[in-house]
Amino acid sequence: MAYNYDLIVWAAPIFTLLMVLEYLWGKRIGRQTYRLSDAMTSINLGVLSQVSGVVSKAFSLAAFAWGASYVALPIAAHLQDFWHSVWGYAAALVLYDFCYYWLHRLGHTRRVLWATHSVHHQSQDYNLSTALRQTSSGFLLTWLFYLPMAALGVPLEVLFTVAAIDLFYQFWIHTEHVPRLPVLDKWLTTPSNHRVHHAINNIYLDKNFGGMTMVWDRLFGSYQEELTEHPCVYGTTKPLNSWNPIWANVAEFSAMTRDSTKALKNRAFGQALWVWLGTTNYRVSAASGDALPDAAQPMRFDPQWRDKGKAVAIACFLVVAVVNTLALDGSALKPLWQQWAWLALVTLGCWATSANYCATQSPPLSAGGATPKCR
Ligand SMILES: [Zn+2]
Ligand SMILES: [Zn+2]
């Protein structure tokens, strides 16, 4: 629901600078958390998310307005001055974070929502670029979770402002270089408790959903602190095994379609529907019965570059970054055909960036990412 594109354009150089600093720091202390392929993919997913957001915003705004017309409470009309005050913004931020908590929690536990949110979790690395790794299908259902704000009459400009604050806050928490912080870790969303959120160790699964605070997690029983004896292993229990940002966005939807089709062929209509609306099952795909990899033995996806692939991929990545930054500026005012053309161009560029690897067998994570040669 955050449509602050000019803010993103303004923030892009700061994000870039902080990522470079994190990379240099990792190099200096001999603990590098970046891989070029992974970081380029995460950033491209952020770019795609922003571009598709421009195109899809009409849908989610219309859906939100339609929902709001049903849920608005009589008191909403009397609260307009309040929402525009400092206390009103503060209250809206708390309310937004509460709604975000439930969106995020169900985003992990309901399959149709996980299909959207899983994009943010596919990286097997954990660094500031992971924060930019965002979905492009959020427009479909995200608006539903912010209807309580519409019920209380929170104006759209206030909603967008607090949404941007919540989103921007979450940038700094995606790093391995900030250690545990006493007291703060218990109440605020911090690097330590968000590392737990991104980890696939059994003890950490489905924990710490809060956007800015751990209060909701502590209230609703999903808080887990980071434990020295359980170093975080990042990613998804069913690895994506691809650098393709387009596939990253559709992989789970494709799996659900496959599973529900299989159920339909068996005339199991209830199960076909449950594939979409039911709970996420990390171990067994609900309808297909496919066993998923053991979370304790994840495979690191780290394929080889094709000949000159690295240079071509970097060139494509830079073109996408520059074109996107220029196009994003004032994007809301551009004609629709230009927005679609820009989405097509950026999608093509993101795909081209990812198409420079040869498929290789993924080695176990414990093997340190050594990969076979291209054949
Ligand atoms: Zn999450
Ligand atoms: Zn995250």
- Ligand 2 centre to CA of 83 (Å) is 29
Residue pair 313/321 in contact (Cβ under 8 Å)? The answer is no
For residue 106, give its domain range: 5-219
76 occurs within a structural domain: yes
Q: How far is the CA of 121 from the centre of ligand 1 (A)?
A: 7
Please give the Cα distance from 282 to 237 (Å, whole number).
Answer: 7
Predicted pLDDT at 76 = 85
Ligand with minimal distance to 117 CA: 1
Work out how many domains the chain is built from and give that number: 1
Among all bound ligands, the one having the nearest atom to the CA of 129 is 2
Q: Is residue 22 part of a domain?
A: yes
107 in a structural domain: yes
Q: What is the mean pLDDT of each run of 10 residues along the chain (375 residues)?
A: 60 92 96 94 93 87 91 88 94 97 95 95 96 94 94 93 94 97 96 96 94 97 96 91 93 92 86 86 45 56 80 90 77 76 88 78 48 49
Check residue 286 and report its DSSP letter: T
- Is 53 a member of any domain? yes
- Ligand at shortest distance from the CA of 194: 2
CA of 104 to the centre of ligand 1 (A): 6
Between CA 305 and CA 302 the distance in angstroms is 10
Q: For residue 234, is it within any domain?
A: no
In a domain, 356, yes or no: no
Domain for residue 232, yes or no? no
Give pLDDT, residue 297: 56
- Is 121 within a domain? yes
Q: What's the 173 CA to ligand 2 centre distance in angstroms?
A: 8
**Ligand that lies nearest to the alpha carbon of residue 104, given by its number in the listed order:** 1
Burial zone of 49 (CB within 10 Å; 0-12 exposed, 13-18 middle, 19+ buried): buried
Instruction: Tell me the pTM.
Output: 0.89
Check residue 337 and give its pLDDT: 84
DSSP state of 177: S
Per the listing, tokens 């650098």 go with 243
Task: Give the ligand at the shortest distance from the Cα of 134.
Answer: 2
